[in-house]
Structure 1
Amino acid sequence: MGLLFSRLWSYFTHEEHKLVIIGLDNAGKTTILYQFLMEEVVHTSPTLGSNVEEVVWKNIHFVMWDIGGQESIRQGWQTYYANTEFIILVVDSTDRERIGISKEELWKMLAHEDLRKAGVLIYANKQDVKDCMTAAQISKELNLTAIKKHKWQIQACCALTGEGLYQGLEWIVSQLKSR
């Protein structure tokens, strides 16, 4: 009976969850946002500031903030952290030269007071490109196993095809249900 009531209740409630999509410039953040929104590839230009869209998936409303990743914009990421439930860090799996910068930015975020309860989903994007880093390699480079105070998940994906994206959202939904 409880399960039935819970399911019926979910049709009448408006659950809304804030997600911040962050990563270095050219990682694929905006492409991922629009894959969720329209399920198609949208040609984008570098995000100067932010995009915000509401994505409804499995009757859950996600307010997704896509924040630009250029160095000058990264300094202001923290202005978007208030009330964030999940961080989606997008890593360009082909960008071996800047993986250390992604690691620095991740650990800065994890130390921020406004994100102390936020879950972290890492998308290892551009898995369709030959000789890219695997999700396991990226996990090692980012030192993900050292994260103890946050729930986290790494997901291989390709923003252009959508492959792996919904598995990441599935993990977020599972975290929401386990609260």
Structure 2
Amino acid sequence: MENAMLMNLYRKHGAATISALYITLSLIWIAGSDMLVGGLSSSVDVLSTLQTFKGFGFVGVTGLGLYYLVDLHQKHLMAARETADKWVENSFRQSHRPMCLVDPVSLRIADANPRAEEYLDIGLDDLKTMELANLFKSDTISRTSKTTIRETIVHALRNNTAQPELFIKNGGAVD
């Protein structure tokens, strides 16, 4: 229960929550421990030693507290990332539109959804051996350089001019 309450507080206010907790607990520690140590002895040597141990205790307790808060936050971030990754993967796989994931440097196809395999009539293993330019009809795109290919594809996608008839189908045969 307190774990969920602390996470809700952290989600809403982020780093300000950790800072506020640190300041509040530090002030309570300093005031409380000073009163306790002051009542234990009137000897300067004893008080000096107790203050040293009090400082070590403060560092230890705050270190553990910060570890706990950071660990809690990291677990929350990892869970959120896993949820987002699953959502993206499911959206990609279940989309009714053909989609390929392409390495932006090599322009090789890294993955494709089932609709792309069906639309192009090319299996996933074969698609993964191809470059993006291999999916376009040869008269549609200049094959002279990867830069030209990349620019042509990006221009077509940005301007919504990438039409299905530009792509090869039926196992690589051009329509």
Q: TM-score with structure 2 length normalisation?
A: 0.22
Q: Quick check: which has more Rg, 1 or 2? A: 2
Bigger relative contact order, structure 1 or 2, given CA contacts below 8 A and separation 6+? 1
Structure in which a larger fraction of residues adopt strand:
1
| Superposition TM-score, scaled by structure 1 size | 0.21
